[in-house]
Amino acid sequence: MPDLRSPQTSPDPIRRSTEAVAPPKAESVGHEANRRTNLPSSGDADILARAQAGDHSAFAQLYSLHKRRIYSLCLRMVGNVAEAEDLTQEAFLQLHRKIETFRGDSAFSTWLHRLTINVVLMHLRKKGLSLVSMDEATEPAPEGSPGRSFGAPDLILSGSIDRLALERAIGDLPAGYRLIFVLHDIEGYEHNEIASMLDCSIGNSKSQLHKARLKLRDALRPFPLQEERR
C-alpha cells in the first residue's frame, strides 16, 4: 500500500498557480472498486502529495476522483439536490483548507469521507434538526406501523431489489432513519461510530436502523401492506 503521508517539503501558497484548472473528465474505475476498502492507487497518492504541496491541478484531480462519492454521500444523507450541491462544495472547500493537515493516519478517502459527514451533520444541526429524534423513530410504534408489522409470505421481497427503487425509497425515509441507514448499511459505519457521530446511544442507533429497514421493506413491497398476525 502506498505511503500517503504528506511530503516533507513545506508548501508555499504564494507559488500556487491561480490558473483555472479543469478537472479530468473520467473517474477512476479502480477508485470505485476500492470504495469500501479505501485502498488508494499509487497514482492517488501522488496526486494527494501534489495537492498538499499546493498544486491546483492536483486538487482538481482529487475533486474528479472523489466528487461522485462525496456528492452521492451528501445527497443520500440530506435527500435534497440543492443542499447536496452546497454541502459538496463546502466539503471540498474544507478539504482545500485542511489538506495540509492530513498525515496519513487513515486512508485519504476515509479522512475525506469523515470530513464530509461532519460538514453534513454540522449543516443539519444548524438547521435545528435533532439528528436522532426528528421523526417518529423515538415514538412508540403504533399498531400496524413498520416496527410491528408482520409480512405475509406472499409479500416476501423477491430476493433482488431494483437499485433505483431502493434509492427512491431511501430518499423518502424520514431524516433520522435515512441518516443512520446511509451511515450503517451503505457507508459501512459501525453502531458505536454512528452513536459517537450523532451523540446518541448505540441502542438508539440499532433501533433506528431496524426501523429504517422496516420502512424500506414496506416501501419496496410489490403489493400494499396487509397485516397478518398470529
Partner 1 sequence: MKEDPNLMDCYEFQAQLPELIDAGGKAAQHPHLQSCALCRALLADLETIAEAARQLFPIEEPPDVLWKQIESVIRDEEKAQEPARRTPPQ
User: Is residue 206 a contact residue for partner 1 (CB under 8 A)?
Assistant: yes
Residue type, 105: D
For residue 15, give the H/E element and its range. none
Contact 55, 49 (CB under 8 A): no
Per CB under 8 A, which region of 40-48, 83-91, 104-112, 132-140 contacts partner 1?
83-91
Site for partner 1 in 19-58 (CB under 8 A): 20-23, 32, 35, 56
Q: Which helix (H) or strand (E) holds 179?
A: helix 175-181
Question: Between residues 31 and 197, which has the closer beta carbon with respect to partner 1?
Answer: 31
Among 115, 131, 155, 225, binds partner 1 (CB under 8 A): 155
Residue 128 beta carbon to partner 1: minimum distance, rounded to whole angstroms: 26
Amino acid letter at 120?
V
Say which residues have a Cβ less than 8 Å from residue 181's Cβ, sequence separation at least 6: 170, 173, 209, 212, 213, 216
Binding residue (CB under 8 A) for partner 1 from 5, 96, 114, 123: 96
Map 52-104 to HEC letters.
Answer: HCCCHHHHHHHHHHHHHHHHHHHHHHHCCHHHHHHHHHHHHHHHHHHHHHCCC
CA atoms within 13 A on the CB side of 217: 20
Q: Is residue 172 a contact point for partner 1 (CB under 8 A)?
A: no
Could you say whether residue 188 binds partner 1 (CB under 8 A)?
A: yes
177 binds partner 1, rule: CB under 8 A: no
Kindly state whether residue 217 participates in binding partner 1, applying the rule CB under 8 A: yes
Q: Per CB under 8 A, which region of 40-48, 122-130, 171-179, 183-191 contacts partner 1?
A: 183-191
Give me Rg for the CA atoms of the chain: 21
State which residue, 5 or 145, has the beta carbon closest to partner 1. 145
Q: Which of residues 100-129 bind partner 1 (CB under 8 A)?
A: none
Compute CA distances 3 → 31, 40, 58, 84, 103, whole Å.
16, 10, 17, 32, 10
> CA dihedral defined by 41, 46, 50, 55, rounded to 10 degrees?
-70
Binding site for partner 1 (CB under 8 A): 13-14, 16, 18, 20-23, 32, 35, 56, 59-60, 63, 67-69, 71-73, 75, 84-85, 88-89, 92-93, 96-97, 147-148, 150-153, 155-157, 159-161, 163, 166-167, 170, 181, 185-186, 188, 191, 206-207, 209-210, 213-214, 216-217, 220, 228-230
